[in-house]
Homo-oligomer: A and B are copies of this chain.
């Protein structure tokens, strides 16, 4: 369920792909067709994958992909069934190939193909405000409200009994039932992911979506970015206060409570029944357990096990923090 909304432009012949990367490789069977680009684990023999760090040797050895973008020093870990394609920068090449398969995942220009809701099939189904715009590939369930000036851009599914406020901008997002989204939110835009290149950075593709589960509430001014190679998820009955930033690929569990102005950096995984105080920040690629409480203003820079209370910058056990600050 990574990319229900992005159309795969493939298949491409392997020759087209290596030409696109400006690589010459005379040993390849150039007419083999590639269906998709996937990670080492989920690839099938119709796909191309990528392998960029020794951390992934174990899963690289078992990949089923037929081709793999990798570096000279890593290629020997691949099985014989997988032909290495050697590049200078693996992630940049992956980004380029992904953009070949999913050209819509790079650009987040405004959606030009929206229609005022009065002229859509939702006219008599939804309770809506002034100036509401609806993009293509949008579905909306029963008994929903959409406030003034809200723009539902392309690729949005909204369940039943949802209430959206005014001035929101939403795309590439799956909203389940009984969800409340207050005002001024931007949900489903690409994340802050790119390769820094002097004079002109290279954005990497974001083929994930934002998934907001049942009974969630999203406060005013939230920004929730969609995932790059996976989804951004807000679990059931999790409540977000105002002015919160949730970066790409973040996953938050159920019944969690996140106070105002919190920021969660890319790819961190937050458990269920977690409470995060106002203005706390959580670095990227961390794992925060279940039933964790994070004090307001904390800066979390390492994983936190289940059932722990932390506070401080860097965040530590709350008793230790309070003892050190009498």
Residues of chain A whose beta carbon lies under 8 Å from any beta carbon of chain B:
108-112, 114, 116, 127, 129-131, 133, 145-149, 151, 163-167, 169, 178, 182-184, 186, 189, 192, 194, 196, 198-201, 215, 217, 219-221, 223, 225, 236-237, 239, 241-243, 245, 247, 254-255, 257, 259-261, 263, 265, 277-279, 281, 283, 296-297, 299, 301, 312-314, 316, 325
Contact = CB atoms under 8 A, between A and B. Distances in A.
Contact of A186 (B220, B277, B299): B220
Top 6 nearest A-B pairs by Cβ distance?
Answer: A110-B147, A297-B299, A223-B242, A192-B241, A279-B281, A186-B220
B184 A109 contact: no
B221 A186 contact: yes
Contacts of A220: 186, 189, 223
Given A189-B220, A220-B223, 4 more contacts: A196-B257, A260-B263, A296-B299, A313-B313
A133 B166 CA distance: 12
Which of A111, A112, A237, A296 has most B Cβ within 10 Å?
A296
B255 A265 contact: no
